Each structure stands twice: as structure tokens, then as C-alpha cells.
Structure 1
Amino acid sequence: MKRLRILTLIALLLAIITFVVKNRKPSTVPAGKGLLVDKAWLSINKHPLTPQAAVRPPDQTFLTYPEWFLVFSPAEQADYFKTHTSTTFPYLKHVDQMWGGYGVMYDQIKGNFPFNTGYHVMIWVIAGSTTVEYGIKSFYETVIGRVTDISPNEEMTAEDKFNADYEYSYVKFIEALPWYEYDFNHQLKMLWSSASFSGPHLLRKLERRYYLTTELLVKSGYGWLIGLGTKSAYETASLQTAVVMDRLPTGLDTTGFVHNIKVLPNGMVLANLPRYAEFNTAVSKLAKNGVGFTEIAGNESAIMLTVLTEKPLNITANYKILFTQPIFTRPGLSRVALVTTVGNLSSLVRTLKLKGVTIEHIYDY
């Protein structure tokens, strides 16, 4: 019995050492130190053509990055879980990327814009809770999950397959709506009603049911609390972004993605585009048809976007690179954060498309 306790202690210490060593390397590589964006790009539009109610602070093109990383991270998990169990996912690497990206973002805006207290607090809350969640998951998977995990050449359990489906459903939801509105209770019912108890790897199946049940219950309760706090502290977010375009080509089918079109006295066009994930699609369609942007959410200066690429980008005067992050589950692929101006956005989008670079997201304030 004494020997068993010693062996258990040694195994635990080895697991902890593996846990620490595996996650100690930084995973956000800044393009330099401090301010990387032209200071002239960091300005407030004092006389926007956009109605004041639709104007958003210019620093939010940077501050929305940590928020969107919490879409990218589950999306990467959903893709990875199709062929791997969650036990081998690099959770702490994602924590490092989230905070590392936020640090670079803050270096660009500090001293250049008024401190956006509400948005920073929101980031600290969601990033802090994600740090706790991913830290617990990483430690649990290293110490417990690896004991029940199956070998790569074995078929995954019904519970591991459920995890992949649940993660995909969650990602599609949060691309358009706040995470705390997701129905975790429905997923919990699906886990216990649709995932079969039969099949091999009984220990793994039982352990995964415990793991997933705990996650869904905690997120359901925490999401409910966050929803209450958000509704009391923040206004309901608009699902549209106002833009001013230099033109809108005759004959271009804008059904479903350009709304409330109004021609301004100077000949420019004021309209609303879908916000969040659909904003990328709308901008890409318009840029492809030669449309240029004068204002986005009332802003005419810096706007950020992230791209996914396997090759280095040639830096030009039209954009700056902020940082690069490797996509650990897809070796060779990297996320690169770029900054350009609203006026140069369409040109940059066309250039990236021509080079076959995937635009991950355009941060519409």
C-alpha cells in the first residue's frame, strides 16, 4: 500500500512537471515594442457623417480582439475535436494568446484615447473567467484526462463525439449572439439522452460524462449570472454597423446585407451592414465590387483585422503588423493581426483575397 502511494505521488509530480513545461513558452509574438501603429491613425473623428447614435469609440477596434479570441478559441476546439479528444488540446497556450494579444492592443491605445473603463472591465471579467476555466481544464486533462484517454488510432467514445458537436453548435451561436444566452441546459439533456452508454472504454465514457456534465452545469449557472449583470450594466448591443461608402454600384444585389440605404448630399452612401461575423462577408462583397469606405461606426482612422496564413506577409505602407500567433492545432498556420485605415480597408481586403490569405475577422468597433 505504501509503495502504491509513492508511485501515485511520483505520477502526480510528473504530470505537474509535464503540465508546466508544456505551457511555458510565449505564444504571441509582437512585431515590435510599444506603439506599432502610425500615431496619425489613432484619432477621433470629430465631425462624422454617421448619426451620433451609431458612432462607436475608435479604440474598440483594438479592444474587441480579446472578446473575439473567445470565439476563435472554441472554433479551433470544435475543429480539433472532430479527430482528437479534448485531453490533448493546448488550453494554456490559448490563455497566453488571449492575454498576450490584449497586451499588444493596449500598447496601441494607451495615451491616445480616453480610457474605456466599461470595455476594459468587460475584458477583465471574460478573460479572467476564461483563464480560470482553461487553467482548470488543462490541469484536469493533464492529471486525470490523460489516464482515461484513448489512443489516437482508436474510435472516440460517444461522449467525446458529443463534445465535438456541442462545441460546434456553441461556436455558431456565439458568432452572432452573446455566449451567456446559449442554452447549456439543452446540451446537458442531449448528453444524457443521445450519447449511448454502450461501447468500449467504459472508464473514459464515465469520466467524460462527469467532465461534460460539470462544465455544462457551471456554464449554465455562470452564464445566467453574467446575463443579469450585463443587462444591468450595459445597453443592448446593436446588431448592425453604420458605414459611409464612396458609392454603391448600380445593379449590385445588396439584399440581406446592406440596409437603410441613404444617399448623402455629397454623393456618398450611408447604410447599415450586419455586425459581428457577418460584417466580414458584407465588407468582402462590397470591396470586391470596388466600394470604398469613408467611415465605419463613425470612425475614419485605424481599423484592425486578423488573417490566417501559412506564408509571411509583405509589409506595405497601407498596413502595419501588430503580432503573430501560431495556430497550435494546425502546424504551419498563423494568425496575424493587421492594422490599416478605414479608407484603405477595401484595397487591403482585395489584396489579401488575391493572395489567398484568409480574413479571420474585421473588428468593426
Structure 2
Amino acid sequence: MSTYKDLQILSNAAFYDKCNTRNYNRDNILRKNTDDCIYNAKMGNREIPLFKILLTNKCKNDCAYCINCSKHKNQKVELTPEELAHCYMKYYEDNTAEGLFLSSGIKKDADQTMHELIETAHILRNKYSYQGYIHLKVIPGATRDDIKHAMQLADRVSINIESATSEGLSDLATTKDYNKDIIKRISWISRLSNRHHELAPSGFTTQLIVGANDETDKQIIDQTHHLRKKYKITNNYFSSFIPVKDTPLENKKISDPMRTNRLYQIEYLFSQYHIKKDELIFNDDGFLNLKEDPKYNIAVNNMDKYPIDVNTASYNELIHIPGIGIKTARRIKALKRKNKKITSLKQLKDMGANINRCKTFVKIKGQYQSTLF
């Protein structure tokens, strides 16, 4: 088998590993480049092509959703750290890739796997003098020393939590201990990051599979919010469950991508809009409304606060209004500092507001939207 064929298999096997922080297109969960191993990831204000791959798709774990699980009869291949480093440098030198996202199946145990991931990064940094972006996956059960070594070599590290609860993970895999193998490692990464800011300077992330078990949106949000707050996690990633043939969950229904979309929106509302967790609206079963965005649902369930005068509203009140984003809210406040006011919906629209979304929730010059047209 050619090395290129190996790369294709190992890149496809990394399907669930997310390298793109925000993707709201329900028809395109993973935006893949034309090359089989290259995925676009947003870094700051631009997208860069990442070489996303596994060292091996051989795995002793029995994760019920995963194409690489020990029970799946897919073709198993592996690369040595030297082979993978050499292949990546070809992509990098050809300007096809600008960064490496490296994970692996667990061929023997966590220690051996982490050593090979670290060795790959070490070869790139030292033999090839590569100074570009590296994202290394931390294997559940890895030692503290190996995690620190990985963070010394990588720009970013991540560890997959897969599930929001210990019980939920038990439904998916019998070979992982949620608290011991995963949460404990998150605490180590957090402490190392806090004490040594030079380690993994681009931060660390987690990832969760949405819809592979019966966990609710509320359970997922409660846990990811807790992890972000307690351990200062940079990003929580979500992957929509897609059934894979010949796995234990092959007959389970595919997870609606809009559900993942809503979870990402909640993450954004937490980080950018100062929305509090207790403001969120769930149905009686603990799920978000897939038909309306969460910010709108919060507003319509608090109509006693609306309509609100855009000229007297605080910044926090403005960004809570559906149809008014951060940039528009800042423009409104800047106008106020100049002792000027918004006098019409057209002026509000010109400042960037979505009038169809916000008109029910605002008043201008003391007038409600019904008298503003």
C-alpha cells in the first residue's frame, strides 16, 4: 500500500476530531479542503489549512460510535513518528498545509501512544527545525510528565471528554474512566497552563460527541460551562453523531446538526454576550429549541423587560436584544457618548441591526415598534 493511501485512511479516521471552532452550516459539519488530509481551521481572523491525521487507526478502546473502535473491521494502518513527520513536512514545504493536528488510536496503551505523538512533534521541532503550528491530542490516561512534554512542544493540546457525564461515557465505552482518565488530566493541563504560560500558548480544548447517547442539551451545557469556568478551557468543541456501519451504534439515528449549531451558539453567548447559564431556556426534557436561536428564546421568555429604549439601554441590555450584535451595540453607545440619539428604525438598521429581529423588543423616542413605521 502506498504511503498516500495510508494518509487518506488515517485522515478519514480522524473524522470526529474537530479543528474548526465555529461551523454553523448544518449541511457541512466538517469543511474539508480538496486534499484528503487538509481541513480548514479558523485561526484569529483567517482560516489556515491544517494537516489533520492519526498516527494509527488501530485502537484497543471500544467506543461504540467510533470507526476506529476495537470491534470495527476497517483496514488498520499506522505510521511511525518519523514517517508522519516526513510526510507533513512535504505538505508544509509545498504550502499545502500551515499546521499539524495530530491524534491517534490507542494501539497498546496510553503511555506508548503519547510517547509516539510526542516523538513526532519532537522530530518536527528538532530534526526539521519546524516552528509552525502543532496541535497534539492528549490521550486519556496519559501521565503528567507526558502531558507536560506535549505542552512544551505543541501550540495547543486537547483531550476528548466525549460525553457530559460519567454515566454517559459508560454507555459509549467500557475502557475509559471519565473522572480518572479524562477529568483528572484536564485538571493537570489547567494547572500546568496556569503555572507555565509558555506551555501550549494557544490554549487547550475539549471535545464532545452530540447525540451518541441520551444526554440532554442541559447536561452538556452544564458540564462544558463548568469545565470552561473551573479549568479555563479555551474552547469546547462539539461533533454531531453520525452512525458508522459495523459499529454498535450503526442503527442509531443521526444527530441533527442544528443541535450542534445551537450548542456552539450557547458557547458564543457565554463568551461574547455575557449571557448567564440560568438565563437559558430549555424544554421540559432539557433540550434547546432547534427552530429559534437561544438569544431570541431568552428574550421572548422575558417580555416583561421589553420593549427597551435603545438610547437609554446599557451595553449589556443592548446585546441581549435579538437582532443587535456586539458591533451594533458599540456603535449605539459611541453615538450616545457624542450626545446623539437614534431617532428611527432606519437609522438603527444603518448601524447594523436586524430590524425584523429587534423591532418587537425596542422603542425609540418613547415609541413602541407598532408606531415606528
Bigger proportion of residues as helix: 1
Provide TM-score, normalisation by structure 2. 0.23
Larger RCO of the pair (alpha carbons < 8 Å, separation 6+) = 1
Provide TM-score, normalisation by structure 1. 0.23
